[in-house]
Chain A
Amino acid sequence: MHNFSIAKFILVLLVFCSLSTFAKAESDGGAVSSKSEIDAYIDHHLQDSYDYNFWSDGETGEHFGFPLPIILIDDGLKVFLSSKFHHGETVAEADGEYYKIYHGKIYKTDAEGTITLGEENHPTNSKPLDFSITKNVATMILTSILLLFMFGGLAKNYKHSKLPKGFGRVLEPLVIYVRDDIAIPNIGEKKYRNFMGFLLTVFFFIWILNLLGMTPLGVNVTGNIAVTACLALFTYVITQFSANKEYWKHIFWMPGVPVLMKIILIPIELLGTLTKPFALMIRLFANITAGHVVIMSLIALIFVGNNIYADTSISLLLALFISVIELLVAFLQAYIFTMLSALFIGLAVEEHDHAHDEHATKEII
């Protein structure tokens, strides 16, 4: 009975989710109907933005949401709220300088907001260093606060009881899962503890951001290449800094092969250390982006077809189906990222005692 009501709740949430995106599709300047407009809309959704826009009224041009702070470094620090841009429609003035948003990026302009386009339609205007608290940054801060509340609460719970209570009962098995099925099998009983902070944080951070991407908030954090690049860089740095002598030896002077091969293998092995985190970055980015694109495209079916009833029902059914799959993918990608990070760390800290017994024992002593 209980399970059933949860399933019902998720179903309603998904439908709501789809409908809200559908409502959003009508924002940004009237109805979206043509193929190119849909493409532009999806593209716009995948991008980061300078304000939290929940929905807009296309006819009156009203937007519902809240602005976020813009922080620019351009002859000094310039901080102002994104409401100055009026959703990219006007030029914002700060300390005598003028800025305009063009295709999701801030450019320096004159008072009229002229954007001069160079070849391939790229603006030639100069770009200020942009450290704005964008929608993605705000969402990450929100996620961090959420994580701190959830797991801080769980930690506090253990102070007066050995067993978790309430929501902690959901969280505890997940923590145990990361420890017993991701960290220990890949890194080993002896060393796993040092990396638990990173692995647990990354796992829940990615998972929650993936899930937030499926809510009507309309965020796409883990589908942003800068975000996944940062996450992958963390894995890379931690792997390289925790690597032992054996790991470096296998890169720079591979044992058991002729000298000439050793020299040839150096650049290959070095490149290999980079391809691993690179794959991590692309995998997460591509999976989440693809999920968002597919769901939005399915919803867009409503607007391109002729028969609104048939299209709507097919579109919602398919979107619902894909949403369920995306729920799985949200978990799966968090799992894969954490799993592979643990694997790479495990490879770097592994004791190769089977191959060079003498050397290994010396190292242990």
Chain B
Amino acid sequence: MEKLINDFSFGLFFWQAIILVILIFLLRKFAWKPILDSLNSREESIQNALDAADRAKEEMMNLKEDNKQMLNEAREQRDQMLRDAQAMKKRLLEEATEEAGKKSAELLTKAQETIQAEKKAAIKELKSQVGLLSLDIAEKVIKAELKDDKSQKALVEKMLKEVQLN
């Protein structure tokens, strides 16, 4: 112990204290701070990258799920559309048939009506023709009966007789 105290060199102690203070200061400024800072930032960036990868994975999974859902929806929609089209076709066909039936019936009735009208007109025409014809005949008959005075007088007398009767 005595030897230790005797060997203790204050000069060495003094220089070491100075060297150590300067060394700590210099290393802190030019080495430890930039080293630790860049280590921290690197670790942070690694962590961020890992987190981002995890997030991307999750997003991928979500996207996949979405895709699946979309696909299902699309399939359903297609089926629905097909069904709709089928139904529409059926309905259109039905409607068309119905319409056609109605139209044909209508046409039929119209034709019948026309025929009826034509018939009526024809009968009317015929009637008037017959009347004219009979008038002509009557005229001709009268003309023939009244071709001389004697027959004219006989006719007048006959008519007068009739009038007197009234």
Enumerate chain A interface residues (CB-CB to B < 8 A).
47-48, 71, 129-134, 136-137, 140-141, 144, 147-148, 151-152, 154-155, 158-159, 162, 172, 175-176, 179, 193, 196-198, 200-201, 205, 224-227, 229-231, 233-234
Contact = CB atoms under 8 A, between A and B. Distances in A.
A230 B9 CA distance: 11
Interface of B: 4, 7-17, 19-20, 22-24, 26-28, 30-36, 38-39, 42, 45
Contacts of A48: 9, 12
Contacts, number: 116
Contacts of B27: 147-148, 151, 197, 200-201
A172 B42 CA distance: 12
Contacts of A154: 31, 35
Contacts of A193: 36
A197 B38 CA distance: 15
B15 A158 contact: no
Give the 4 A-B residue pairs with the shortest CB-CB distance, closest first. Answer: A151-B31, A197-B28, A158-B38, A155-B34
A132 B16 contact: no
A234 B38 contact: no
Given A47-B7, A133-B15, A229-B13, A201 B36 contact: no
5 contacts: A131-B11, A144-B19, A147-B23, A197-B28, A226-B13
A224 B12 contact: yes
Nearest to B46: A162
B48 to A, nearest CB: 13
Contacts of A129: 10-11
Contacts of B13: 226-227, 229-230
B8 A155 contact: no
Given A193-B36, A196-B36, A226-B10, A140 B31 contact: no
Given A137-B11, A147-B31, A197-B33, 8 more contacts: A129-B10, A130-B10, A132-B11, A137-B12, A151-B27, A172-B35, A201-B32, A205-B20
A187 B9 CA distance: 33
Contact of B20 (A152, A155, A201): A201
B45 to A, nearest CB: 8
A179 B42 CA distance: 15
B20 A230 contact: yes
Contacts of B35: 151, 154-155, 158, 172, 175
B12 A134 contact: yes
Contacts of B7: 47, 224-225
A155 B34 CA distance: 6
A196 B31 contact: no
Given A130-B9, A225-B8, A226-B10, A140 B16 contact: yes
Contact of A155 (B10, B17, B19, B31): B31
A147 B28 CA distance: 11
Nearest to A120: B2
A155 B15 contact: no
Contacts of B33: 155, 197
Given A155-B31, A162-B38, A179-B36, A197 B12 contact: no
Nearest to B34: A155
Contact of A226 (B12, B22, B38): B12
B24 A197 contact: yes
Contacts of A176: 39
B4, B10, B12, B36 — most chain A CB neighbours (10 Å): B12
Given A140-B16, A155-B34, A162 B42 contact: yes
